[in-house]
Structure 1
Amino acid sequence: MKRLSRMFPGRRESISDARAFARAFVVGRSSDDLADTAELVVSELCTNAVEHTASGEEGGQFVLELEVHDGCVRVGVIDFGAQTEPAVNDGEPCDAVTGRGLFIVEAVSKAWGSEPLRVGRRVWADVVGASM
């Protein structure tokens, strides 16, 4: 099992850095399709941290956690917390421009969830290869 984590500033510009960090870690440790899917999940979870939690406020940060084992990538994002818990917006119209992040994460992940921490919340997703 290989693990790696990194803290990023809670700004939109950090999301592309988080994707690149994830890709560099996952490529070579898993299949290309798994790396692509993990990168998508990283993008969605980091965007949610910046857009919907205190991590996106002045001085905010988020932590990206990656773990690769047995054909699975666990993506975790720790944020500074929000007033509400993460939830899939099932009722959004198909042409919605925003609000689809966790819907996408749920669709491409084997499992996902969130847990409160002493400070903030961890949102995680397990991404597996096509053969899983």
Structure 2
Amino acid sequence: MHEYTSTTRAWGLTCPGLPEEVSRARRWTRDILGASPLAEDAELIASELSANAILHTASGRPAGSFHLALAVSSQVIALSVTDGGGMDGAPKVERPDEEAVHGRGLGMVSALAHRVVVRNSDGAHTVTAELFTSPRPGPGGHPC
């Protein structure tokens, strides 16, 4: 790739807030990433973030939805899920006890991703997980 050009490709998918849409989010991610060595991690991230949107926000209410975005470049795979809002506070990593049924998803995403960013916009949240496809430059380094 030439140092002054970018070949980032981006996709988006809006899904109804139904439980069966979590598997659709996984398939969609897998279909786009194909044989990428990071495809399995990205699928799991898509699944966890989609499920969180349905379980913990207005996305899972009747007529609710969530939006997935996937951006792929030579340096990073970035997967974002934007929920329907309606939750008190921003999503955060929890430390549930061993008996808990929920509460591990964002922790798992944080363990798989190289970086996780949560943004709040008008009550809705976008959680972006980044998987670096090549080593990140050190301090003062340049990505090119």
Question: Cα distance, 1:117 vs. partner?
Answer: 1.8
Q: Indicate the residue corresponding to 2:16 in structure 1.
A: 9
1:127 aligns with 2:131: yes
Question: Cα distance, 1:95 vs. partner?
Answer: 5.3
Moved over 2 A (4+): 93-97
Identity %: 35
Q: Provide the TM-score with structure 2 as the length reference.
A: 0.81
Letter in 1 for 2:72: V
How far apart, in 2, do the equivalents of 1:103 and 1:24 lie? 25
Name stretches of at least 5 consecutive residues in structure 2 with no aligned partner.
1-7, 136-144
| 2:94 aligned residue (75, 89, 94) | 89
- Higher RCO structure, 1 or 2 (CA under 8 Å, sep 6+): 1
Greater helix share, 1 or 2? 1
Aligned length: 127
| 2:47 aligned residue (33, 40, 43) | 43
Question: Cα distance, 1:84 vs. partner?
Answer: 2.1
Q: Provide the TM-score with structure 1 as the length reference.
A: 0.88
How far apart, in 2, do the equivalents of 1:84 and 1:49 lie? 13
Name stretches of at least 5 consecutive residues in structure 1 with no aligned partner.
none
Once superposed, what is the RMSD of the aligned Cα atoms? 1.6
How far apart, in 1, do the equivalents of 2:132 and 2:19 lie? 27
